[in-house]
Amino acid sequence: MENIPLSFLFGSLVFLLILSAFFSGSETALMTLNRYRLKHLATREKHSGAIRASKLLERPDRLIGLILLGNNFVNILASSLATIIALRLWGESGIAIAAGILTFVILIFAEVTPKTLAAIHPERLAFPAALIYTPLLKLLYPLVWIVNIIANSLLKLLGVTVDKSSQALSREELRTVVIEASTKLPQKHQSMLLGILDLEKLTIEDIMIPRNELVGFDIDDPLDVILKQISHSQYARLIVYEDNMENVIGFIHVRKAAYMMMNEETSHDALRKIIEQAFYIVEGSSLHTLMNQFQVEKQRIGLVVDEYGDIQGLVTLEDILEEIIGEFTTDPATNNKDIYLQDDGSYMVAGSINVKEINKALGWSLSVDGPKTLNGLILEYLENIPETGTSLLLNGHPIEIVHTTSHSVKMVKIHNQLKNDA
C-alpha cells in the first residue's frame, strides 16, 4: 500500500463515494416510484426502464438485499481507504480525523443529497439503476439469496411474512388518493372520480323525483287527452297507469308514441302494445347498487317503492350520471326547473327542490341527513306550516315564504347576494 500513489487512493475514494451515492439514491428512487404510473408505463407504453424496475420490485426483499450488499461493501471499502490515507498523511492520530471527515462526507454527498434528489425525481434515477441492477442481481444471486434467507427467517420469528399481500383501499382512502393527486389530475376528472366514490354513500332518496312531481296518464283517459299530453311532454318517457298512480302498468316512450301517431291510426290497444314494463327499485339502496342494477337489467329508469310496495318516486340513469359528472348545464341555478331567476337578480325556488340540488346550485351546505327537500327543512325548522310572507333564517340563509298551501311550502324567495355570501 505504501507504493500506491496518494492520488490513486484519493481517486478510488471519490469513486467509492460516487458508488455509495448511487446505491443510496437508487434505493430511494425505486422504493418511491409511483406504482400506478409504473404499471401504466410498463404495460401500456412498454417503457423498457419501467418494465425492468417493475420486475425488480416484484421481490423487494431481493432488491433491498442487493442494494444494501453493494452499499455496505462500498462504504466499508471507503472507510478502509480513508484510514490508509490518514495513516499516510498524519499517522495514527489521523485515524479519528479521517473517520469524522468521512462520516460527514458520506452523510452529505452519499446519503442526504442523492436520496433527496431521488425522492423528488425518482424515475430519473430508478430506470437507469434498474438497467444495472438486473444483471447484477443475476450475478450476485447466490449471495443475495443467502442474505434473504437469513433476514426472512428473522422476520418470521417476529411474525412478519414477506409474501406479497394486497391491501385494498377503503372508499375514504381512495378519496384521499384522488384529492392528494389534485395537482396531477384535471379538475374535471378529479370531480368525476370523487363523484363515483360518493355513489356508495348517497341513496336513491337523495336524487329521486318525488311522487307528487311524477308525470303520467291514465290509459283509460280519452284518446285526445292522452295524445295531447304525449305531444306536449318534456320527458322522454311517461308513466302509464290505470285508475291511479298506485296501479302503474309501465312506461311509454314518447318518441315511439309520436312515430305511431304519424304513421298509423292511434288507439288505446295500439298504445298498450308499446308500453314498456316498469322497473321497480327498493328505497334506501345506494346509488352504486342502483347503477349496477340498471346495468344488469339494461334499464334507464325505475320507480322507487317502499316496504309496502307504495310508489315513492322515480330515478333515471341521467340522475346518477349527473352525480358523477355534474349538471349537464353550465349554470345549474339558472337552468334547474325548480329555481327561477328573476329580473331583479333574486331566485324563486320551489319548496319541493331536493336539498342536494339547492346546495349545488347556490353553493350552500344545508344538511342532507334529515329532510330531503327544502319544504321539509322549513317545516322541521318552524315545526308548523308557515303563512305567506313569513321570513326565516335557515342555516344562516334568509328565506322569504312566497306561497304555501294547507300542508306544504310551495315557493320561497332568495336574493342573489346570498349565493355569493354562502
Q: Which amino acid is present at 265? A: E
**Residue length of the chain:** 422
Give Cβ neighbours of residue 155 (< 8 Å, ≥ 6 apart).
161, 162
* pTM for the full predicted model: 0.57
16-25, 108-117, 180-189, 349-358: lowest mean pLDDT where? 180-189
Give Cβ neighbours of residue 71 (< 8 Å, ≥ 6 apart).
20, 23, 24, 27
| Mean pLDDT of the chain, nearest integer | 85
Chain centre distance of CA 321? 15
The alpha carbons of the chain give a radius of gyration, in whole angstroms, of 35
pLDDT digits (tens, 9 = 90+) for 209-263: 888 888 899 999 998 899 888 888 888 889 999 988 889 999 999 988 888 877 7
What is the pLDDT averaged over residues 192-209?
84
Helix/strand/coil (H/E/C) assignment for every residue in 21-80: HHHHHHHHHHHCCCHHHHHHHHHCCCCHHHHHHHHHCCCHHHHHHHHHHHHHHHHHHHHH
Q: Indicate the SS3 state at residue 251.
A: strand
Q: Indicate the SS3 state at residue 402.
A: strand
Q: What is the DSSP letter of 278?
A: P
Residues paired with residue 281 on neighbouring β-strands, in sequence order? 304
What is the pLDDT averaged over residues 79-94?
85
Q: Indicate the SS3 state at residue 189.
A: helix
- Which of 59, 62, 81, 74 is CA-nearest to residue 25? 74
- Cell triple for 125: 434515477
HSE, CB side, 13 Å, CA atoms: give it for residue 245. Answer: 17
Alpha helix segments (H runs only) across 240-342: 254-263, 268-273, 287-297, 317-325, 332-335
Rounded distance between C-alpha atoms, residue 360 and residue 87, angstroms: 76
> What are the backbone angles phi and psi of residue 193, rounded to the nearest 5°?
-65, -40
pLDDT the model gives residue 183? 72
- The residue ranges of DSSP E strands in 79-177, in sequence order, are none
- Which of 18, 33, 24, 20 is CA-nearest to residue 126? 33
pLDDT of residue 334 exceeding 60: no
Taking a C-beta distance cutoff of 8 angstroms, is the pair 353, 336 a contact?
yes
pLDDT digits (tens, 9 = 90+) for 125-181: 999 999 999 999 999 999 999 988 998 888 888 887 766 555 667 778 788 878 877
